[in-house]
Structure 1
Amino acid sequence: MTELASASKRPRPEFRNINALSDLPTYRLPPAGWVSILHRISGAIMFILMPFIIWMFDTSISSEISFAKFTSVFNVGVGFVPGWFFKLIALAIIWAYLHHFIAGMRHVWMDVNHAVSKEFGRSSAIVTLSLGTVLTLVLAAKLFGLY
């Protein structure tokens, strides 16, 4: 009976509602949280830009003339939209695919090896973010003609 009495005297944790305007800007999301949110965003980007992806694939392989039109869209543009804008859209697709693929492989690795720990989650999230960023920058340099 004394154990129950002493257990009831411990202070209980206090829960409160958050104020989105004051609490959220100061909250620091861990790297695994960033990877999770960006994984969802990259999936949404790929889904939303699917018509552009299909257009690029179809135009690039249909014929030599359509491939010439395809390359002119990226070099010169169409109408009032400049070519660099289409390159930015293609770069968004490249980033979305790379991040989504790398984050997906991270999840598969964690599932297969039962590697669910705070340390592995943090380190693998940092690797995912940095690898996706580096690969995107390399492909961006190629897309914009730096090499």
Structure 2
Amino acid sequence: MATFPLGLGLLKDSENTALFVIAITSMWPTLINTKFGVSNVDKSYLDVARSLGASKWRTIQKVILPAAAPSIVAGLRISIGIAWLVIVAAEILLGGTGIGYFIWNEWNNLSITSIITAIIVIGFVGLLFDRLFGLLQHWVSFGRQV
């Protein structure tokens, strides 16, 4: 959220700034895990693709991406959690719409029951996102049970 004032100064629009902050804060786990997954592709897979005469694009498409997919999805799983937290925080700061704004408004109205309900909804949606990406991660992993 420290990039929020910087984004407001550069973009001059609160909605674009919110998107900028969400992107900046949530992209790093995916980028780091993608780099990790690609750099840990077994060299023998690449040697086989090269010996069979696969082009660079074919090697990326058929060898590197499937081998790195579990790491990439793990990064996406972390990123979606971070993005969800930042979305709620950005809504609190921006005001106007969203569950973050609702929580802030209910805090100002001293409606603790509504705040707790909203927190439970936020937690449930976050858990749902995590479970969906967990299933996707299991689906792209090697050795999965069919």
Q: TM-score, normalised by structure 1?
A: 0.42
Q: TM-score, normalised by structure 2?
A: 0.43
Rg (Cα) greater in structure: 1
Greater percentage in helix: 2
